[in-house]
Amino acid sequence: MDIRDVGSFVAGRWVSPGARAREVACAYDGTLIARAGDGDWDVAEALDYARSTGGPALRALTFHDRARMLKALALTLQEHKDALYEISYLTGATKKDHAFDIDGGIGTMFVFASKGRREMPDHQVYLDGGTEQLGRTGSFLGQHICTPLLGVAVHINAFNFPLWGMLEKLAPTLLAGVPAIVKPATDTCYVTELAVRIMLESGILPDGALQFVAGGVGDMLDHLTCQDVVGFTGSAATAGRLRSNPNILSQGVRFVAEQDSLNASILGPDAEPGTPEFDLFVKEVSREMTVKAGQKCTAIRRILVPETQLDAVEAALSAQLAKITIGNPREENTRMGSLVSAGQRADVLEKIEMLRSEAELICGDPEAFAEEKGAFLTPTLLRCNDPDAAQRVHDTEAFGPVSTVLPYRDLDHAIALANRGGGSLVTSVITHDAEVAQRAVMGVAAWNGRVYLNDRDSMKESTGHGAPMPHMIHGGPGRAGGGEELGGVRAVKHYMQRTAVQGSPRMLSALGGRWVPGAPETSGGAHPFTRRFTELTPGETIVTAPRTVTLEDIEHFAAFTGDTFYAHMDDAAATRNPFFPGRVAHGYLLLSFAAGLFVEPNEGPVLANTGLDNLRFMKPVAAGESIHVRLTVKAKTPRNEEYGEVRWHVRILDSAEDMVAEYELLTMNAT
C-alpha cells in the first residue's frame, strides 16, 4: 500500500509533511500507512486567515444560509461514504463501527442543518428568549442576543472518532458563523484529512472557513484571545496541560473540554434474571465493551449490579463476550476489530494491570494476540469485590474493551458508587421501576452530563448508552471535563457571545428583524392576507371593526361545541368564582370571532393556519361587550421556494382598549 502523506491545509494551500513527520501504522497489521505533521506552515498566518478571511465571509451569511451550507456538506460527505469507510478500516474499526463515526458524523451535520433552518432565524442575530420590560410603560426593553465570536475555533480531537469528532464540533461552529482550524489526533488523522479534502474540494465553504492541521499545532494556543474558542476532546491529562496554558488563562479564552470518563451502568434492583431488563442490561454492557473495541469516551467502565445478581450477571456477560469474534475489521464475520495502535494496546494492558490490583479477572486474556502485529485485545471483564475501598476502578480509564463489575447492596449504595467516578459523561439505569429510576436520577444527575434510562418499553427505539445524540447535550462535570457539546442550538451558542441589549422597541425590532410590541406599526395598504410572503414587512398592522358578543352567541357556542362550563352558563356560580364578574364568553369563542374579524376569505397567498403560540386570556368578556382585533406581522421565516412561515401578533381588545387576549398566530404564506 502507498504511504499517505497527510498534509495540512493552512491559509488556502496544502502543505506537505516535514522531515520529522510522525509515522502512522495500520491498526490491524502494523504496516506503515501514513506520515503526518511537521509541515512548513505558520501559526500567525493560519490564525490571521481564519480571522480576516473566513470569519467575515461566514458572518455575511444568515443562519439559514449557513444551515444550507451544512446540508450541502453532509450530502457531499455522504456521496463519498464508501471512500471514508474504506480508509477507516485502517484504524481497526469494523463496518458496524463506521456507523458510529462516519454515519453518525454525517447524521449530526444533517441535524444541525435542519435545526439551523427550523429553530434559528434567517438573520445574523439570534434572539435568546423574549424581551423584558424594564420601564413602566414599555418604551425601554431588554433583549438577550447572540452574535458570532470574531475569532477562530481551534478543535483538538481524540483519535477514536476521526470523523464524528470533527463534524460534531464543526457543524455548530460553522452554523454560528465562526471559522475553524481542525487538529485531529495523529493516529487517525488520515481519515479526517480525507473528509476535509472532500469538503474543501466541493467548493461549498467560503475561503478561510476550514483549515486543517496534521501533527502538532505549534504555539497556537499562545496566540488566542477571548474571541477564540478551544474545543478539546481527549484525555484528562492532556486537557489539564492545555487548559492551564498561561495565555488561555490570562486572556479568558473559552476552553470546552470533553475528557475521559468512568461511566457507570446500574442494573436496577428489580431487574432480576428472566426479566427483559436483565437481558437488555447484558446486551448493552457487552455492546458498549466491544463497539470500537471499547475506545469510546462514553463506554461503560463500571458495571453496578445488586450483590445478589453478581454471579448471574457475570455468567451472562461472559457468555455474551465469548461470542465476539476478533480480527481483521474488513472481514464479514469479525465482530470486534483492533485498538488503534500498538501504543494504545500497551497503554490499555498497563491499565488492566493497575485495575487488577483491586479487581480479579473474570474473562478475557491479556496475553492473547501478544505475538500479533495488529493491536488486538480480548474483551476483558473484571470484578472488584470491595468497591468502597477501591480507588483505581473509579479513576483509571482503560480505553479499550475493558470493564469492571461492582456489587452494590442497595440503590443508595449504587448511586454513591456511580458518583465515585468524579463526574461522568453518562450513567445508565436499566430498570422497569419508575421509583427506582426517579431516585437514581436524583442521585446521579448532578454528577453526569446525561442519564440514560432504559427498559422493556423503550428498548426497541433506544439509541444506546454510549451514543451521544446531536439533540441532547454531550459532556459532563468534573473528571469528564466540565464541558458541554451538542444539545441542538445550545451547541451553536458556545461559539457566540450572549449580550444583553437594552433600548426602545423600535431599536430592538430593527436589531432582531422581528417586530416588538411598542415599535411603530404601519398600515393602510391592502389586507395583509392578500399579500405574498415576500411582500409582508414586520410591523404591518390592521385593526378590525368591532363585534358585540351577545348572550345568544355564548349559548349557541355552548350548545354547538358541548362546552357548557358553568362560567358560561350559570350566572350565580360564575359570580362566586374569583375570576369572573358573572357569565362570560368562552375564550375559544373570542378566538373564533377574532378569526372571523381579521381573515380575508378569498383564495390568496395564505395557505394554512399552522398553529398558535403563547395564548393568554387576560380579561373576561361579558355579554353585551364588544371586541376588536389588532393584527400585526411579527416575524417571517422562509421555509422553501414555495412558502414561508409568518408569525402574527394578535391582540383582542375590548371597547375600553383593554387587552382581552394576546397570542401569536402562525400561517404559511406563498412566496
Of positions 8, 157, 419, 424, contacts ligand NAP by CB under 6 A:
157
Q: Which is nearer to ligand NAP, 6 or 11 (CB)?
A: 6
CA 189 to chain centre: 24
Residue labelled with grid coordinates 404559511:
668
Nearer to ligand NAP, 156 or 567 (CB): 156
Catalytic one among 297, 484, 540, 625? 297
Contact between 156 and ligand NAP per CB under 6 A: yes
Residues in contact with ligand NAP, total (CB under 6 A)? 25
Please say which residue, 470 or 538, places its beta carbon nearer to ligand NAP.
Answer: 470
Reported as type and span, the H/E element at residue 402 is: strand 402-408
CB of 211 to ligand NAP, least distance (A): 15
CA-wise closest residue to 346 among 366, 364, 324, 360: 366
Query: With binding defined as CB under 6 A, does residue 425 bind ligand NAP?
Result: yes
When the beta carbons of 219 and 388 are compared against ligand NAP, the nearer one is 219
Question: Binder to ligand NAP among 174, 297, 321, 453 (CB under 6 A)?
Answer: 297
Residue whose grid cell is 490499555: 348
Using alpha carbons, select from 154, 163, 180, 151 the residue that is nearest to residue 86. 163
Nearer to ligand NAP, 297 or 585 (CB): 297
Q: For residue 489, which of 106, 127, 231 has the smallest C-alpha distance?
A: 127
Catalytic-role residue among 168, 258, 484, 625: 258
As measured in angstroms, the least distance from the Cβ of 476 to ligand NAP is 7
The three-state secondary structure class of 438 is helix
Verify binding: residue 217, ligand NAP, rule CB under 6 A.
yes
Q: Is the Cα dihedral 606, 608, 613, 616 positive or negative? A: positive
> Binding pattern to ligand NAP, positions 431-470, x when CB under 6 A?
----------------------------------------
Residue 466's nearest CA partner among 295, 624, 344 is: 295
Grid coordinates belonging to 498: 450572549
The reply to whether 229 sits near ligand NAP by the rule CB under 6 A is: no
- Binding part of the chain for ligand NAP, among 184-192, 411-419, 486-494, 662-670 by CB under 6 A, reads 184-192
Candidates 517, 588, 554; CA nearest to 133 is 517
Residue 238 or 275: which CB sits closer to ligand NAP?
Answer: 238
Helix (H) or strand (E) holding 196: helix 189-201
Contacts with ligand NAP, 397-416, as mask; x by CB under 6 A? x-x-----------------
Nearer to ligand NAP, 225 or 235 (CB): 235
519 binds ligand NAP (CB under 6 A): no
Would residue 258 show up in a list of annotated catalytic residues for this protein? yes
Would you say 571 and 582 are in contact if contact means Cβ atoms under 8 Å apart?
Answer: yes
Q: Of 185-193, 266-274, 317-325, 386-394, which part binds ligand NAP (CB under 6 A)?
A: 185-193
Question: In whole angstroms, what is the distance from residue 485 CA to residue 229 CA?
Answer: 13
Q: Does 247 help bind ligand NAP (rule: CB under 6 A)?
A: no
CA distance 238 to 259: 9
HSE-up of residue 481 (Cα within 13 Å, Cβ side)? 30
Please report the DSSP string for 263-325 in residue order: -EEEE-TT--TTSHHHHHHHHHHHHHHHGGGG--TTS--EEEEEGGGHHHHHHHHHHHHHT--
Nearer to ligand NAP, 77 or 156 (CB): 156
Cα-based distances in Å from 519 to 131, 501, 508, 539, 649: 12, 16, 8, 8, 12
Does residue number 185 form part of the binding site for ligand NAP (CB under 6 A)? yes
Binding segment for ligand NAP (CB under 6 A), chosen from 235-243, 302-310, 377-385, 567-575, is 235-243
Query: Counting contacts by CB under 6 A, is residue 235 touching ligand NAP?
Result: yes
Residues from 248 through 277 that contact ligand NAP (CB under 6 A): 258-260
In angstroms, give the least distance from the CB of 514 to ligand NAP.
36
Distances (CA, A) of 226 to 255, 467, 489, 492: 10, 32, 21, 17
Binding of ligand NAP by 160 (CB under 6 A): yes
Query: Which positions are annotated as active-site residues?
Result: 258, 297
Q: Which residues bind ligand NAP (CB under 6 A)?
A: 156-161, 183-187, 217, 233-235, 238, 242, 258-260, 297, 397, 399, 425, 481
